[in-house]
Amino acid sequence: MMKLSVEEISDQLKNLDGWSIKDEKLHKDFEFESFNEAFGFMTRASMEIEKMNHHPEWFNVYNKISVDLMTHDAGGITKNDIQLAKILNSLA
């Protein structure tokens, strides 16, 4: 999997609501009504994440989840990261 160029990433960000680049990773903060909703999102997301075998860095405190995506093997953001970001948006 090849890492995307800065131009390709910028182009993809136009279609990724709420995502930005932070520390050379795709980043988004999700906020839910409750811990149960946040945990439910993580549970639903885990099914898709396992299918892709592409695991995010994420951090949860109560109703908030911070997600960072990058492909370590490629040394940056790839099409897999873009695809997972789209899936996470659809599940939220």
Strand order in the sheet with 57-61: 20-22, 25-31, 64-69, 57-61
Contacts of 23 (CB under 8 A, 6+ apart): 68
Q: Residue 21's beta-bridge partner residues?
A: 26
Helix axes 79-91, 35-52, angle to 10 degrees: 150
Question: What is the pTM (predicted TM-score) of this model?
Answer: 0.93
Question: pLDDT tens digits for 17-48?
Answer: 999 999 999 999 999 999 999 999 999 999 99
Beta-carbon count within 10 A of 21 CB: 14
Of the chain, the percentage scoring pLDDT greater than 70 comes to 100
User: Does 1 fall in a domain?
Assistant: no
Does the pLDDT value for residue 1 go beyond 90? no
The pLDDT, as a whole number, for residue 59 is 97
Q: Establish if 79 belongs to a structural domain.
A: yes
Q: Tell me, yes or no, whether 21 lies in a domain.
A: yes
Structural domain span for residue 39: 6-91
DSSP reduced 3-state for 72: coil
Domain with residue 60: its CATH number is 3.30.1360.20
Total domains present in the chain? 1
pLDDT tops 90 at residue 81: yes
